[in-house]
């Protein structure tokens, strides 16, 4: 795990604490004005020490800022940075950078929607997924499903799409799959 991914995991873990999450939500609600620990304590109806600890942790995580005037403000860029770090750890991310027109079909490294069947993007998606699979021989349906499950929830539809577009070849029994045509290593 990279340093960035570990940091992102820490941000998400720390935000799972109810008081920290409530405090961040209240800071977001208050916008640029921010709030003091006393104001947050009153708005959240929580002990001052808990709110003060939550503010300190949020600042340490980079999702809030504290100023010399005693006011805290939300810094949502810290959440965006954590999300980007998590996205970069997804197995398809490296290849997806070479297919910018397909980014809208993915969310956080997961295929969320197939492009229209007759579109150029449908063929491009097939190429991208076959490159991701990196097939060098014959594989059982379970092995193909396992690999596809890393990037999609609907492995059957995606497997079928790969066969229909001619990127994946299936034997007559429908149990063994292999590459149907060569794909370039670099696009």
Query: Which of 92, 73, 72, 93 shows the shortest CA–CA distance to 84?
Result: 93
| Domain closes at, from 81, 99, 133 | 81
User: Average pLDDT for residues 121-144, to the nearest whole number?
Assistant: 92
**pLDDT of 42-75, one tens digit each?**
999 999 999 999 999 999 988 999 987 789 999 9
Highest mean pLDDT among 10-14, 18-22, 90-94, 180-184: 18-22
Q: How many domains does the chain have?
A: 2
Specify the pLDDT at position 38. Answer: 93
Q: Does one domain contain both 102 and 155?
A: yes
CATH number, domain of 62, equals 1.10.10.10
Report yes or no on whether pTM surpasses 0.95.
Answer: no
Specify the pLDDT at position 142. Answer: 94
**pLDDT of 142-169, one tens digit each?**
999 999 999 999 999 999 999 998 999 9
The pLDDT-based confidence of 1 (bands split at 50, 70, 90) is low
Separation between Cα atoms, residue 23 and residue 146, nearest integer Å: 40
* HSE-up of residue 105 (Cα within 13 Å, Cβ side): 22
Q: Does one domain contain both 70 and 99?
A: no
- Order the strands of the 168-170 sheet from edge to edge: 139-140, 176-179, 168-170
| Domain closes at, from 81, 104, 130 | 81
184 occurs within a structural domain: no
């Amino acid at each position: 795990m990279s340093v960035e991914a570990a940091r992102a995991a820490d941000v998400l873990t720390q935000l799972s604490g109810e008081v920290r999450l409530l405090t961040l939500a209240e800071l977001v609600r208050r916008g640029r004005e921010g709030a003091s620990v006393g104001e947050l304590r009153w708005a959240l109806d929580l002990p001052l020490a808990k709110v003060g600890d939550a503010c300190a942790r949020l600042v340490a995580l980079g999702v809030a800022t504290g100023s010399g005037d005693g006011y805290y403000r939300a810094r949502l860029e810290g959440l965006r940075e954590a999300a980007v770090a998590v996205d970069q750890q997804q197995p398809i991310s490296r290849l997806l950078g070479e297919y910018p027109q397909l980014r809208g079909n993915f969310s956080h490294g997961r295929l969320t929607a197939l492009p229209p069947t007759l579109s150029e993007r449908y063929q491009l998606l097939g190429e991208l997924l076959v490159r991701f699979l990196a097939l060098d021989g014959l594989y059982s349906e379970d092995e193909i499903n396992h690999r596809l499950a890393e990037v999609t929830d609907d492995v059957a539809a995606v497997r079928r799409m790969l066969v229909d577009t001619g990127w994946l070849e299936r034997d007559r029994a429908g149990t063994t799959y292999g590459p149907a045509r060569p794909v370039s290593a670099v696009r």
